[in-house]
A and B are shown apart, each in its own frame.
Chain A
Amino acid sequence: MTGNIYLDLTNEFNAGRLRAILSSGQAVVVHGLALASKDGDWILREEAECFSHILQVLEGYSASYRLGAPLDMRWMSGGWSAHFEFNHEGNRIRCDFVSRPPRLASDDLANLWEQQESGTGDNFPVPTLDLRRLALLKATRRERDYSFIGEIARRLPTVREQILWSRSARDLASLAENFPEEVRQLVAQRPLLSRIGEGRRVLQRALDEERYFMSEADENRLHAYAQAAQHWNTAWTRIRAEIADVPLRQAHKTLVQHAEKLLPEAPDERF
């Protein structure tokens, strides 16, 4: 036992094999950046055995489902998220899971699992999302997440990654001065790099505009899921009452039965 519930949960999730990678807010703590979130987030390997094991662990904590998708291949593969909550030693503990994190290409996700399995990367107490992919996940609708990206960018292991992720006009100017060829090569990938020579004010405006577009993209993604979940949301109060006092794995079966009628497996599907 590590003494921290989120580290301990990660270890329990990974008993016997790698199933879960600590992500988002608690990964920020592991990387030594800040204490920033009360909730735990994990990226799960998209296999039925993994989901079954997670449910078993959570049942041991008397966890219950929050409004969310069932922890089931059909919905998780559609990019949905599953959410749980329990009380532990006086603290409200929330566990959020995805198996298809946003903005991670499928080959990048596959590489993530390969890298974690081979043990390459940082020497952390539990499998933890690396900084580059953490920056990807932080490109959300929330303005404060971009502060994390700004700090993360300074710690990325290669100059190319720092150029692609920097949120600072000053840092980008320095990078351009020291690594002009790399900046030139990356303009196609990140157009605002072409504005580095126009001065800090212009570049900062370009950074703000870039952040706006990233934020808007995340909002649009969430809107699609919100639209797809309308019937599910409407029915949730009744579903929750139905599963309130049963063990989690039994509640899960009930949840799946309802989700088959009310929650599309992907946001672009309709009943």
Chain B
Amino acid sequence: MNDSESRNPMFNFQDCDEFLSEEDLDIGNLPWPERIKAWNLWLATMQATNDQDKDDYSHGVFLSERQKRELWGDEDDENHGADTASPPAL
């Protein structure tokens, strides 16, 4: 294995930009039984935000109307009438 393929000791670099907090990264220090407990507790606690994100998508290619407005304003509503093809009837 050459140097390019070896692991760089980046974690020892003293003056680092912080991307995730120590609290975030602490999850990786937990043994699996404790990590699962913390994971489940977090999921249960975060249920309190379900009403806020009930229509949202975190991944994939679909977005809620709110997410679309945040990204593109009302352009989809403005352009909708310009689509000359009528949708097939159900």
Contacts and interface: CB of A to CB of B under 8 A. Distances in A.
Nearest to B62: A68
Interface in B1-24: 3-8, 10-11, 13, 15-17, 19-20, 24
Interface string B44-61: 101101100100011111
A32 interface: yes
B71 to A, nearest CB: 6
Interface stretch (A44-52, A103-111, A231-239): A231-239
Interface stretch (A23-31, A54-62, A243-251): A23-31
Given A230-B83, A271-B85, A222 B25 contact: no
Nearest to B13: A174
A117 interface: no
Contacts of B49: 38
Given A29-B39, A32-B28, A33-B24, A141 B71 contact: yes
A227 B43 CA distance: 33
A76 B25 CA distance: 34
Nearest to B47: A91
A119 interface: no
Contacts of B28: 31-33
Contacts of A125: 32
Contacts, number: 169
B8 A178 contact: yes
Given A35-B39, A169-B17, A98 B87 contact: no
A67 interface: yes
A96 B57 contact: yes
Interface string A251-266: 0000000100110000
A269 to B, nearest CB: 12
Interface residues of A, number: 77
B10 to A, nearest CB: 5
A34 interface: yes
B3 to A, nearest CB: 7
B58 A96 contact: yes
B84 to A, nearest CB: 11
Interface of B: 3-8, 10-11, 13, 15-17, 19-20, 24-25, 27-29, 32, 35-40, 42-44, 46-47, 49-50, 53, 57-63, 68, 71-72, 76, 80, 83, 85, 87-88, 90
Interface of A: 2-5, 7, 23-25, 29, 31-39, 41, 67-68, 79-83, 90-92, 94, 96-98, 125, 137, 141, 147-151, 154, 157-160, 162, 167-171, 174-175, 178-179, 182, 219, 221-223, 225-227, 229-231, 234-235, 238-239, 258, 261-262, 267, 270-271
8 contacts: A67-B62, A91-B43, A160-B5, A162-B8, A162-B10, A222-B61, A223-B72, A238-B90
Q: Which 8 A-B pairs have the closest CB atoms?
A: A32-B28, A81-B60, A150-B19, A34-B24, A231-B87, A225-B61, A168-B17, A35-B42
Given A167-B19, A175-B10, 14 more contacts: A3-B37, A23-B59, A24-B59, A31-B28, A34-B24, A37-B58, A38-B43, A158-B4, A170-B13, A174-B13, A178-B8, A219-B71, A225-B62, A270-B85
